[in-house]
A and B are shown apart, each in its own frame.
Chain A
Amino acid sequence: MTQVEPWVILSFCAIIFFIGFTGVLIRRNILIVLMCIELMLNAVNLTFVTFSKQLQHMGGQMSVFFVITVAAAESAVGLGLVIAMFRTLRSVDTDEIQLLRE
């Protein structure tokens, strides 16, 4: 089995991260925004694992478990909020929920 060069994986991670980030910035549907955040988190996870393997250190892999756990909790809370928001505002469009402005 041939070894994949780490920079390839890292570049791949960076691309996924920025795809996710771009989604967060430009999409108007809050569900999509949440999914994009998921994408970013997983890109970070992949980076952690890569470095863990590269540096022969288990810390990176441990961090991944933490991130997965927190991400699960975050999705639960986030989706809960989205439902609550939809119930009050009848919308999931981020342009409509700018209540912090005033």
Chain B
Amino acid sequence: MLALIPLFPLVGFLINGSWYAFGQAPAGCHKAGSKIPGAIATLFIFSSFIVSAFIFNQLLSMEPEHRFIEQVLFSWMKVGGFNLEMAFRVDSLSTLFTLVITGVGTLIHLYSIGYMSHDETPGKFFAYLNLFCFAMLMLVIGSSLPILFLGWEGVGLCSYLLIGYWYTDEEKAKAGKKAFVVNRVGDLGFLLGMFIIFWTFGTLDFTELKHGVEQAVHTGTLVADASVVTLICILLFVGCMGKSAQIPLYIWLPDAMAGPTPVSALIHAATMVTSGIYMVSRLNFFYALSPSALNVVATVGAFTAFFAATIAIAQRDIKKVLAYSTVSQLGYMFLGCGVGAFSAGVFHVITHAFFKALLFLGAGSVIHGMHEEQDIWKMGGLKSKMPKTFLTFAVGWIAICGLPPFSGFFSKDEILWQAFSSVHGSRVLWGLGAVTAVMTAFYMTRLFYLTFLGQPRFDEKKMVSHHAHHDDDHHGHDHGHSDHSVGVHESPWMMTLPLQVLALLSAVGGLMGIPHMSWLEHWLEPVIPGHEGAHGASLVGGVDPQMEWILMGVSVLGAILGIAVAFKLYRNLKGVEGLAQRFAPLHRALENKWYVDEIYEALIIKPLQGLAQVLWKCFDVGVIDRIVLSFGRVSAWTGQTVRLMQTGSIQVYALMLLVGLVATAGYFIYGWH
């Protein structure tokens, strides 16, 4: 039963993939604009969602202590005492992730049918998308670290394939490569962490590992904050830095926006980038043992949240703003995990999956409607042109700004409160988080205002004529008559329906984690034990429980402040330009993303390239090539020389025979002793 969850997308991948790869598409199924591959892919991921829901339902009826389902498929490898089984285990943590992945995944698949309707190779696109879902599901339901790693690498591969989906554009191909290489750096940390775990505990299975750790703590062989645990945690977190785009490895995520927008929504906002939080939460028993590692996680998370938010303020590309916003929100999640509030981190993963997928899909709808225009300064006034997109985007906007009772408020506030009150938290972390919240409200309002409100800043006539001309190529004479493809238009139902569903989820999704009666926290208790500094025990930490309400008020006020400032500022666009000019150096630095890419280029890439050049020219060509070539030269020379003995005259051969005979006889007679 469990295996069905990843199996469905795998089958979808195989059907679409082999169809695309081998079949000279029977009767136009795979030509541009075909909807069949999309329908197949959506159907399979939806089946997977049904199974996930069924499993969730099963888990609901179980006792909390035994709330897991396990299925062993086969023994993958057996080396000495190391037996690795291909096994799946779904518990209260995994089931949430499977529901989000398959649920949001289904919506995004459906949306993609509409979004990719002009695409040349829909079969390939949907095959990749399904393969991604397969790998992501393996990641969250694998019962041991190697299977998690299998999924981890699988999603990395799909991310690469989908970022570079339009690979004929070199920029996009490069963005895919960048994502892959940066992720590889993180994966090294993950692998090392895994090796040390196996070296120390002799197992990689999560349950056995948990028992092993508990036992070691019990017998005193493993003390809290032991250096080996800290090392493991930090190495694994390096893996998370890569996959979940944290400082210093976040640079690939903004570039990953080169991929199609549904991909950005599914992979680079809702699911794949949250796998780091999944791993940290899954291994919370490790992290709980090492306050110093938690500290690192929280600090990196808080700084990433703050840093990415500053960059998001000055970006012009609608997807880039959302990308930096994603990096920032991922920082929030790690901040939550880092202060020991793993369930708050997971809560934010879920709400973020709803509202960020919504925002990305909304952005995709805008881009689709604007005919591939991504610059928000060239939009404006789309409110009336795209009413459905506008309304749903507004819901996502309020949710991410953190106004109650939308989902973002609950999860963000939970994290901020934990950062303030938990024994691992501090005022500084809370301060960073709170400032980030204000900035988030500001830049999201900026994005929202520039896109949907105000006066249109684009020339629709130009767009119409451009598009009519474009149509001309395909339809001959009936250009300009099909009214849905002229000018700025609302997207088809396949695209707006997912938006509406996600808007609903973004609006009410927060209700599963209302403070003090959080269903989510209770649900996750078998996997993530209740922690100190939580609501009930907060008095122990010396924090006044009333502070919680005060802080909640502060964050709501902060959000309102951010929104108000942005509204006031962007009503007068000339004023904004003046402001940008007055702080020109700062504005330029923000617009250029603090020059991080350039700094990396100068500090890491250039020296590495130089080193590679030197190694190539001196060592490879000078030493290795010379050795190999000299083998060839020596044999050629030997052959040339020895060849002279070959005269063809039998009598010369006979003479040589005699010489050899005499020499041999001489050796045996005189040279023996």
Min Cβ gap A35→B in Å is 15
- Is there contact, CB below 8 Å, between A98 and B658? no
- Cβ-defined partner of A101 (8 Å) among B648, B651, B654: B648
- Partner pick for B649 among A21, A98, A102, CB 8 A cutoff: A98
Interface centre among B646, B647, B651, B658 (most CB of A within 10 A): B651
A95 interfacial by beta-carbon distance below 8 Å:
yes
Task: Give the CA-CA distance A95 to B649 in the complex, in Å.
Answer: 7
What does the 1/0 interface line of B636-673 toward A look like (CB < 8 Å)?
00000000001111110011001000000000000000
User: Which chain A residues lie closer than 8 Å to B654 at the CB level?
Assistant: 21, 24-25
**Per-position contact with B for A77-102: 1 when CB-CB < 8 Å, else 0?**
00000000000000000110011111
Given the complex of chains A and B, what is the CA–CA distance between A24 and B647 in angstroms? Answer: 16
Q: Is there contact, CB below 8 Å, between B648 and A100? A: yes
Q: 1/0 per residue A21-54: CB within 8 Å of B?
A: 1001110000001000000000000000000000
Is A94 within 8 A of B646, CB to CB? no
Q: How far is the CA of A99 from the CA of B651 in the complex (A)?
A: 13
Q: Is the CB of B651 within 8 A of A26?
A: yes
B651 touches A94 (CB 8 A): yes
Q: Which residues of A are found within 8 Å of B658, using beta-carbon distances?
A: 21, 25
Expressed in whole angstroms, the Cα–Cα distance for A100 and B650 within the complex equals: 9
Give the shortest distance, in Å, between B644 (CB) and chain A (any CB).
Answer: 11
B281 CB, nearest partner CB in chain A, Å: 79
Cβ-defined contact, B647 with A25, below 8 A: no
Chain A residues contacting B655 (CB-CB under 8 Å) are 25
Partner of B648, one of A21, A24, A26, A99: A99
Interface of A is mostly: loop
Interface size class of B (residues with CB under 8 A): under 10
Q: Which residues of A contact B651 (CB under 8 A)?
A: 24-26, 33, 94
Instruction: Give CA–CA (A101, B647) in the complex, Å.
Output: 5
Q: How far is the CA of A45 from the CA of B397 in the complex (A)?
A: 114
A40, chain B: closest CB distance, angstroms: 11
Q: What's the Cα separation between A99 and B649 when bound, in Å? A: 8
Q: Is the CB of B648 within 8 A of A102?
A: yes
Q: Are B648 and A94 in contact (CB under 8 A)?
A: no
Q: Is the CB of A94 within 8 A of B647?
A: no
A101 x B646 contact (CB < 8 A): yes
**Nearest CB of chain A from residue B128's CB, rounded to whole Å:** 61
Closest to B646 in A: A101
Once the chains are docked, how many angstroms separate the CA of A21 from the CA of B650?
A: 13
CB distance from B81 to the nearest CB of A (A): 65
Cβ-closest chain A residue relative to B655: A25
One digit per residue, 1 when the CB lies within 8 angstroms of any chain A CB and 0 when it does not, for chain B 620-650 equals 0000000000000000000000000011111
The distance in angstroms between the C-alpha atoms of A102 and B648, with both chains bound, is 8
Q: State A25–B652 Cα separation when bound (angstroms).
A: 7
- How far, in Å, is B645 (CB) from chain A's closest CB? 11
Q: Which residues of B contact A101 (CB under 8 A)?
A: 646-648
CB-nearest residue of chain A relative to B647? A101
Residues of B near A95 (CB, < 8 A) are 649
| Residues of B with C-beta under 8 A to A99 | 648
B302 CB, min distance to chain A CBs, angstroms = 83
Q: Chain A residues with Cβ under 8 A from B646's Cβ?
A: 100-101
Contact string, B448-482, partner A, CB cutoff 8 A, digits 1/0? Answer: 00000000000000000000000000000000000
By a beta-carbon cutoff of 8 Å, the part of chain B in contact with chain A is: 646-651, 654-655, 658
Give the 8 A-B residue pairs with the shortest CB-CB distance, closest first. Answer: A101-B648, A98-B648, A100-B648, A25-B651, A98-B649, A25-B655, A24-B654, A25-B654
Q: Could you give 24 example pairs across A and B, Cβ below 8 Å? A: A21-B654, A21-B658, A24-B651, A24-B654, A25-B651, A25-B654, A25-B655, A25-B658, A26-B651, A33-B651, A94-B649, A94-B650, A94-B651, A95-B649, A98-B647, A98-B648, A98-B649, A99-B648, A100-B646, A100-B648, A101-B646, A101-B647, A101-B648, A102-B648
**Interface of A toward B, CB cutoff 8 Å:** 21, 24-26, 33, 94-95, 98-102
Given A98-B647, A100-B648, 4 more A-B residue pairs with CB atoms under 8 Å apart are A24-B654, A95-B649, A99-B648, A101-B647
